[in-house]
């Protein structure tokens, strides 16, 4: 029997990870596979409230406080959404997860990756995604793409390019360190082509037959 998978999508703003998640949702809908899709920060009702604080650029949040808020939202999402779904045999697709905290707060804000890993271990135990897709492209181009879609920019979209470059480098570092779990995809390719690659990776790794 195929194991139920925990799949996360990561990358800088504007790399198209949310649309890749949606494409995978549409593919899974055509199969008997039971799944849920969630996002971070957010997912649970309470986590979505924490998200509002986190994205509000009018609030000045200390980097470590920001880190803990992301983790607080994650704790709710895990307990209320992710764990129950995995326990009941469903696949979980999550738009961002711990790698984002390591990349944005750990490296981007300089909180340090080790601190985040330590707190994650205490709070979340050993749960790790089975597969992480990292959508990658030059941060400047991606940020431009993200900003085209909006008129009001959130806390992260307002950060300078050097921050986003650090975040991109961090994702690539994470991928290099954990190459069994992480798959870096060229986000500049056509979205359908990327979706095809995602399906092929899942099929190859887990002997599924996603079409």
35 touches ligand TYD (CB under 6 A): no
168 touches ligand TYD (CB under 6 A): no
Centre a 10 Å sphere on the Cβ of residue 101 and count the other Cβ atoms it contains: 25
Choosing from 35, 107, 156, 171, the residue that interacts with ligand TYD (CB under 6 A) is: 156
Q: Is 35 helix (H, G, I), strand (E, B) or coil?
A: strand
CA pair distance 130, 128, nearest whole angstrom: 6
Closer of 3 and 177 to ligand TYD (Cβ): 177
Identify any residues that bridge with 39 across adjacent strands, giving them in sequence order.
95
44 touches ligand TYD (CB under 6 A): no
Closest CB 70 distance from ligand TYD, rounded Å: 4
Closer of 145 and 189 to ligand TYD (Cβ): 145
Helices (runs of H) and strands (runs of E) counted in the chain: 9, 5
20 touches ligand TYD (CB under 6 A): no
95 touches ligand TYD (CB under 6 A): yes
How many CA atoms, within 13 angstroms, populate the side-chain half-sphere of residue 136? 19
Estimate the share of the chain in helix, then strand, then coil, as percent rounded to the nearest 5: 55, 15, 35
Residues that bind ligand TYD (CB under 6 A): 13, 18, 40-41, 70, 95-96, 100-101, 104-105, 146, 156
């Amino acid at each position: 029997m195929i194991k139920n998978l925990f799949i996360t999508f990561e990358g800088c703003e504007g790399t198209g990870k949310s649309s890749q998640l949606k494409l995978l949702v549409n593919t899974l809908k055509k199969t008997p596979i039971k799944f849920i899709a969630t996002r971070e920060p957010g997912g649970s009702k309470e986590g979505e409230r924490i998200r509002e604080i986190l994205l509000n650029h009018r609030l000045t949040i200390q980097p470590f406080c920001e880190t803990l808020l992301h983790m607080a939202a994650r704790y709710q999402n895990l307990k209320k959404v992710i764990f129950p779904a995995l326990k009941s045999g469903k696949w979980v697709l999550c738009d961002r997860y711990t790698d984002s905290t390591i990349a944005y707060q750990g490296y981007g804000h300089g909180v340090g990756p080790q601190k985040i890993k330590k707190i994650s271990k205490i709070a979340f135990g050993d749960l790790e995604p089975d597969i992480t897709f990292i959508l990658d492209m030059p941060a400047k181009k991606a940020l431009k793409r993200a900003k085209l879609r909006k008129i009001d920019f959130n806390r992260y979209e307002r950060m300078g390019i050097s921050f986003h470059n650090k975040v991109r480098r961090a994702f690539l570092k994470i991928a290099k360190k954990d190459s069994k779990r992480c798959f870096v995809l060229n986000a500049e390719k056509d979205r359908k082509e990327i979706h095809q690659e995602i399906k092929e990776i899942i099929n190859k790794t887990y002997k599924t037959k996603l079409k």
